[in-house]
Structure 1
């Protein structure tokens, strides 16, 4: 655990007692703070009380009497579409609002670091799509190279649950826009921006607010080195803003599909080959086509970002290449769950928006596509470039019929439930095809989360194949 520093003897309130909130409460108590907790869920409150925490409804009159600081869990809105009543009450009471990421960065360093040969480093990864895979891949490369590494944040453990890093240790954090938006301290050594596509727009008041939340990691954190995906205008803008000159090697540009050139430091993938260039000259190359755990151009972008990060941490290309080949991928993200009779079954349940789903559709040439769920704003028009790869769609969810109407020119069967969709897809699939779950929709109409949906897909595949 990372004890939270700077609040000894002060009263800190924690709003939201999920994984990150309860972790923050424990870290605050370990650091000497007096902690008050609140969650609207009675069962969650009871669990915190069982650990000895005091509970107080912060939104009630006098809820912030004597409180010095408020820590808010990432799932709780603090501005758009409307501030949580407890957050608004904190503003009125003049109580500063922070989150566990801010506490982590202000508390990570310790006096023991003065005795280390190599001070620990923090790598922070953000973006719309691919940040989980990129973070896990960086962690995997470091581990395979024999470097101490811990994975936390929006993936793995809560940031304050990790062990204090040792000599030369690396902490890899996946950070969502909910986390970067509110943190009062953001000071990673290396920061990674994967890409940007519309998502969580209601929470950030539109696309500009969403990008601004991501940009805070770079503008306010002042990392020593930035790895920036430049396949969207926002990434190109960000890279340009961070550069002091064309040859500024503190910014490593990353692309999937575009050959980058110039006097700086670039990593890009084209036609399945990763290239690293410096000062306009290629210094390393890796054939990604045989890397089984990273199929498709979107995963090649993840590979480029992870490779660039590992190179910035002084790892040699051959070590990185070997680690790429041993990476098995993450559950629910282009995860191969079975391969029978020449048919591959891929679980990409995390593809909850149109952009992520388009990249999944473009990763395979002949697809039996399981899709649908709780549709998001913006429609399905952005999938058009990937639809030629679809042999047939099998649509699930309460809005299955409406979803199917949004797929012009696609042979679409309304199945409603996962078992029916997988049964039909597996029965009709032929050698060389892929049965792909890439929903292009949220899961909440039928499942608690995308993980539960992906797990159900895998179970239905095993049942259909009698495995």
Structure 2
């Protein structure tokens, strides 16, 4: 555990007692603070009290008397669409509001590493899509190369639940916009921006606010190296702001959409080949077409970002390439779960928005597409150009019929539930087809998470492929 520094003897309020909140309370206590905890859920309060934490209703008048700061879990709105009443009260009284990410960076920043031969590094990854795969891939490459690495944040363990990094150790953090938006300290050594597409717009009052939350990691974090996806204008703008000129190799531009040219440090994927250019010459190349854990252009973008981050940490191109081939991918993200009768079954339940679903559709041919769920803002219009390889859509969700109506030009069948969709797609599939779950929607109309949805898909595939 990372004991929080600079809090000894202070009373610190903790709002939200899910995974990150409870870990933050433990880390605060380890640092000598007195956590005062609250969650609207009685079961969560009971769990905290069972660990010896004091609980107190932070919404009552006078609740912040003697409180030094408020630590907030990422799922609780602090500004838009409107702040949680407890946070609003803290803001009114001038109580500093922070989260576990801010506590982590402050604590790491105040640690004395003078006894270490090599100071530990922190690599952060943010963006709309691909940040989990990119983070996991960086961690995998480092581990395969014999480097100490820990994966945490929005993936793996809570950021304060990891061990203090060892001599030369690397901490890889996946950070969501909810986490970067509120953290009072952001000081990564290497920061990665994958891409940007509309998501969480209500939480950030629009696309500009969403991008601003991501941008904080770079503009306020001041990383030594910035790896930035430049396939969208926001990425190009961010790279321009971070670089002092075209040849500034503190900024590494990455792309999976086009060949990059110029005097800087560039990593791009084109026609399945990753290429690294530095100081106007090629210094590395990897054939990604046979890397089974990274199918499609969107995963090639993840590969470019991970490759660039690992190169900043001193790894050789061949070592990175070798590790890529042993990467199995992440569950629910373009994950091949079965091949049966010449048909491939792919679980991409994490494709919860239009952009990520479009990238999944572009990664395969002859697709029998299982889609649908709780539709997000903006509709499905942006998805339609990516449906050229779709043989048929099998639509699930409570509003399946309405979802199907928007799939203009795509043959579709309203199935409503996963069992029916998998059974119908499997029955109609022929050798060479791919049955792909890429919902383009949230899961909460039928499941409590995208993971549960992906697990149901996997279970139904097991049923239809059993016995042969």
Question: Shorter chain as normaliser: what TM range?
Answer: over 0.9
Q: Does 1:353 align with 2:353?
A: yes
Q: Which residue of 1 aligns with 2:104?
A: 104
Give the match for residue 177 of structure 2.
177
Aligned mates of 1:344, 1:459 — CA distance in 2: 15
Partner of 2:16: 16
Q: Which residue of 1 aligns with 2:459?
A: 459
User: 1:219 deviation in Å?
Assistant: 0.4
Q: Report the equivalent of 2:326.
A: 326
Q: Name the stretch that deviates more: 58-67 or 331-340.
A: 58-67
Q: Does the CA contact (< 8 Å) of 2:5 and 2:110 recur in 1? A: no
Segment of structure 1 superposing worse, 226-235 or 52-61:
52-61
**Secondary structure, aligned partner of 1:122:** strand
Q: Which runs of 4+ in 1 moved over 6 A?
A: none
Q: Deviation at 1:234?
A: 0.1
**Conserved? CA contact 1:257–1:271, under 8 Å:** no
Give the match's secondary structure for 2:113.
helix
- Aligned Cα RMSD in Å? 0.8
Task: Supply the distance in 2 between the matched residues of 1:34 and 1:237 (Cα, whole angstroms).
Answer: 43
Pairing 1:295-314 to 2, within 5 Å after superposition? 295-314=295-314
Residue 461 of structure 2 aligns to a residue whose secondary structure is: helix
Equivalent positions of 1:369-408 (< 5 A) are: 369-408=369-408
Query: Which residue is equivalent to 2:260?
Result: 260
Which residue of structure 2 aligns with residue 243 of structure 1? 243
Q: Shift of the alpha carbon at 1:257?
A: 2.0
Kindly report which structure 2 residues correspond to 1:362-441, keeping only aligned pairs within 5 A, or say none. Answer: 362-441=362-441
Q: The residue matched to 1:146 in structure 2 has which SS?
A: coil
Per-residue CA distance 1:323-365 (angstroms, 9 max, x = gap) = 0000000000001110111111000000000000000000001
1:344 paired with 2:316, answer: no
Q: What are the residue-to-residue correspondences of 1:136-151 with 2, within 5 Å?
A: 136-151=136-151
Q: What residue number does 1:269 align with?
A: 269
2:73 alignment partner in structure 1? 73
Q: SS in structure 2 opposite 1:89?
A: helix
Secondary structure in structure 1 of the residue aligned to 2:158: coil
Would the aligned equivalents of 1:117 and 1:167 in 2 still touch at CA under 8 Å? Answer: yes
Structure 2 equivalent of residue 193 of structure 1: 193
- Tell me what 1:278 maps to: 278
Mapping for residues 30-45 of structure 1, pairs under 5 Å: 30-45=30-45
Q: Counterparts of 1:321 and 1:314 in 2: how far apart (Å)?
A: 14
Show CA shifts across 1:5-62 (max 9, x none).
1111010000001111011000000000011000111101100010000001111111
1:225 match: 225
Name the counterpart of 1:120.
Answer: 120
2: distance between equivalents of 1:304 and 1:93?
Answer: 46
Deviates further, 160-169 or 101-110: 101-110
Distance 1:355 1:93 in 2: 41
TM-score calculated relative to the size of structure 2 = 0.99
Asked whether the equivalents of residues 81 and 204 of structure 2 are also in contact (C-alpha less than 8 Å), the reply is: yes
Deviation at 1:139, TM superposition (A): 0.1
Contact 2:395 2:415 in 1 (8 A): yes
Q: Distance in 2 between matches of 1:109 and 1:341?
A: 55
* Cα distance, 1:377 vs structure 2: 1.0
Give secondary structure in 1 for the equivalent of 2:331. Answer: coil
Give secondary structure in 1 for the equivalent of 2:8: coil
Shift in Å, 1:126 = 0.2
> Deviation of residue 111 (structure 1)?
5.2
Deviations 1:382-441 (A, max 9, x none): 112211110000000001000000001111000000000000111111111110000000
My pick for the range that moved more, 387-396 or 59-68, is 59-68
Do 1:374 and 1:441's aligned partners in 2 also have CA atoms closer than 8 Å?
yes
Choose 59-68 or 331-340, whichever is displaced more.
Answer: 59-68
The alpha-carbon deviation at position 465 of structure 1 amounts to 1.1
Listed as ranges, the gaps of 5+ residues in structure 2 are none
**Is 1:208 aligned to 2:208, yes or no?**
yes
The 1-side partners of 2:217 and 2:397 are apart by 36
Shift of 1:112: 5.3
1:228-265 Cα shifts (integer Å, max 9, x gaps):
00000000000000000110000000000210011000
Taking the aligned partners of 1:72 and 1:109, their CA distance within structure 2 comes to 21
- Provide the C-alpha distance between the structure 1 equivalents of 2:373 and 2:331, rounded to a whole number of angstroms: 19
Match of 1:368, SS state, is strand
Q: Which residue of 2 aligns with 1:53?
A: 53
